[in-house]
Amino acid sequence: MKILTLSCWSNSIHFRLFNKDDFALIVLGSVERVGMGDSYLICIQPGQQKSTLHVDYCDHSSALALILDALTDVQQGVMASGQEIAAVGHRVAHGGEDFHNSVIIDEKTFSAIRSLRRLAPLHNTYNIAGIEAAREQLPDIPQIAVFDTAFHQTIPEHAFIYPLPYEWYENHAVRRYGFHGHAHLYLSRRAAALLGKEPAECNLVTIYLDRGVSLCAIRNGISIDTSMGMTPLEGAVMDTRCGDIDPGIITFEMKRGNLSAHELNLILNQKSGMFGITGKHYDRGQLVQEASDGNERCALALKIEAYRLKKYIGSYCAAVGPLDGVVFSYGSGCDDGLMRQLTLEGLDVFGLKLDLVKNRAPASCDREASISTADSTVGIFVIPSDEQLAFAEDVASILNNGCIDHVRHAYTFSRSGFVPNICSEEQELPE
């Protein structure tokens, strides 16, 4: 039997198919330009050539049908029928305060997920579309929700309450939630294994780097603070999101530019961050190259990004206590050596000593690495994140036990002898 995981966004669906027994990756892929026309499906079997199928148009329902057809194709498929799928795990961006762990989607939980759309309309709307499509096309197969916010439900009240009118929290659930939870879970468990410690013995700062960026302060294996807030807009500088800014800028610009709330929200989410500074979309390699070639705004963007990350690491050192490790993920840039170097400059005062040679060494996209010096009192690691493996393990645990407690669960990737499941071909998927 197999486990299918789905991450549904506004214009794409990313999927993976795992073996239920040993979590071996069978196939991964995505459907791109969902709802836009000129859509296409990418399928990658580890070690084999990528296949691409173009279609005129698909919505989320027909995109899932396209995925299922590809997985069961007589010539190139990997299973005889959809009945080989034991369960589907759905990434759900926002679980509010209702969900502390992954859960089976029944009518009660699905109603709660729908009600949480108000907290994350740009994300939960499309997560819900994926759930509806899977329930329609695979009606007899369990559907399980895996929440981005669940890992951060251990954050204490003094860290998640904003200094705003308290009734906003009481009546409207305005608070810090955090996101990328299963990515931080995976990174923290792998770091503990590389340190030769139990997760509950580790104090860490984990840094998830992709188009969205978030940091997590982890004490004794659990999240005690995270950079993203009620929405994914708060925190570090991101690809197109502004991260932390003076909230007075919002009212100033709304008045000055006669902007609606919707217009300003689009600017903060889609026209700010690295894009806002440089005025152009760059992938990581292009950005670094342009900075090296003398593009002052690209160089400035990198410095701003690294400075913001540095400040978060410093503040989380104070929040967590003595650190065991700092973890950088690969994210959308396969090798962010320059960014890591800029970020860690001057942090030797916290025991963080970067080995410049190890940091510059060419990195494989599916390889974990220690990049700290021999005398560094804090480990520095580069670990490619594999949150979808964490999704699949949650799904399997719920199928076997009826529930999961991610704080205490013995994930396979927590083991010292674990071999990362990440397929280097995944870097070929669109971001």
pLDDT of 364 over the 60 cut:
no
* pLDDT in the model for residue 81: 92
Q: pLDDT tens, 188-241? A: 999 999 999 999 999 999 999 988 999 999 999 999 999 999 999 999 999 999
Burial 227-259 (b: 16+ CB within 10 A, else e): bbbbbbbbbbbbbbbbbeeeeeebeeeeeeeee
Other Cβ atoms less than 10 A from the Cβ of 322: the count is 10
* pLDDT in the model for residue 426: 53
* pLDDT in the model for residue 430: 59
DSSP state of 180: -
**C-alpha distance from residue 135 to each of 128, 241, 365 (Å):** 10, 33, 34
pTM here?
Answer: 0.95
Q: pLDDT tens, 142-196? A: 999 999 999 999 999 999 999 999 999 999 999 999 999 999 999 999 999 999 9
pLDDT of 276 over the 90 cut:
yes
Which residue is catalytic, options 73, 98, 106, 148? 148
pLDDT of 393 over the 90 cut:
yes
Confidence of residue 333 (pLDDT cuts 50, 70, 90): very low
* pLDDT in the model for residue 302: 95
DSSP state of 151: G
* Mean pLDDT of the residues in the chain: 93
Cβ atoms 195, 179 nearer than 8 A: no
Q: Is 148 a catalytic residue?
A: yes
* pLDDT in the model for residue 365: 58
Q: How far apart are CA 6 and CA 128, in angstroms?
A: 11
In the chain, pLDDT over 90 holds for what percent of residues? 86
What is the Cα Rg of the chain in Å? 21
In this prediction, residues 389-416 reach a mean pLDDT of 94
pLDDT of 261 over the 90 cut:
yes
Kindly state the helix (H) or strand (E) to which residue 250 belongs, with its residue range: helix 248-257
Confidence of residue 370 (pLDDT cuts 50, 70, 90): very high
User: Which residue ranges form the domains of the chain, and what is each CATH number?
Assistant: 2-147+388-422 (3.30.420.40), 181-382 (3.30.420.40)
* pLDDT in the model for residue 283: 84
* More confidently predicted of 428 and 139: 139
pLDDT of 121 over the 90 cut:
no
